[in-house]
Amino acid sequence: MRKKFTDKQTKILDVAEELIAKKGFEGTSVRDICSKANINVAMISYYFGSKEKMMSYLYQYRVQRTKESFSEFAQTIKEGKPEMQMKEIVNYVISLLFKYSYFHGFVTQEMRSLDNVKDDLLEFYQTCVGRLDEIIKRGIVSGVFHNAPKSEDILTMIIGSTLFVIRNKNFYEMYVPANNDAQYMKEAEQKLKNSTLLSVFALLDYDAD
């Protein structure tokens, strides 16, 4: 069941997400969030019970939207050929992460209260693995793929590489000519999609030509 938030709550969550992504959970004070969101310092406790619970809602909120978004996407590629589906899914996941990167694994600290919502993210990952499994199987059957690598390893490669690129701009930007940050992000995303697809298809022994 999906928790509904008021506009004000959503506003708080958005601001909180941004700040937490930048400075971490402990590094972001309730006062920071509230002053940026132009609300009273008491509001976070008032709306969410506590800072930590707010975090929990925030996580849940993001993961749920990610899952819904993926679910919609999965519909749109239902009919395609395996190689096209694979390409679409790789591109989709990378795009998704570039949009909402910061909350994937932004909980590096031991936050017990998040254990249950962490399962939500896990579920999403498993859905992805399941979908990849299907595509690979169908590709093998139809003869376009000649190898069947493990889906969890493919997903790991996709997500891991993407998060690394996002979080290590100063490294990757050396190989991505760009004038500004926005352009860099666009170019980096494209470069990553290309190289990742290359890897995936190489693993599947798919002949693109």
Partner DNA sequence: AATGAATGAGCGTTCATTCAT
Partner DNA sequence: CATGAATGAACGCTCATTCAT
- Residues lying near DNA in the complex (CB under 7 A): 6, 8, 28-32, 39-47, 49-52
For residue 185, what are the contacts with CB-CB under 8 A and spacing of at least 6? 98
Among 171, 181, 183, 207, which residue interacts with its own copies (rule: CB under 8 A)?
171
Pick one of its own copies, DNA, none as the site partner of residue 99 (Cβ within 5 to 8 A by kind).
none
| Shortest distance, position 71 Cβ to its own copies, whole Å | 19
Length of the chain: 209
Pick one of DNA, its own copies, none as the site partner of residue 51 (Cβ within 5 to 8 A by kind).
DNA
Q: Of the two residues 31 and 167, which places its CB atom closer to DNA in the complex?
A: 31
User: Per CB under 8 A, does 23 bind its own copies?
Assistant: yes
Closest to 110 measured CA to CA, from 25, 43, 12, 13: 25
Q: What's the helix, strand, coil split of the chain in %, to 5?
A: 75, 0, 25
- Return d(Cα 105, Cα 25) in angstroms, integer: 12
Please give the residue ranges that form the binding site for its own copies (CB under 8 A): 21-27, 105-106, 108-110, 118-119, 122, 125-126, 147, 149-150, 152-153, 156-157, 159-165, 167-168, 170-172, 174-175, 191-192, 195-196, 198-199, 202-203, 205
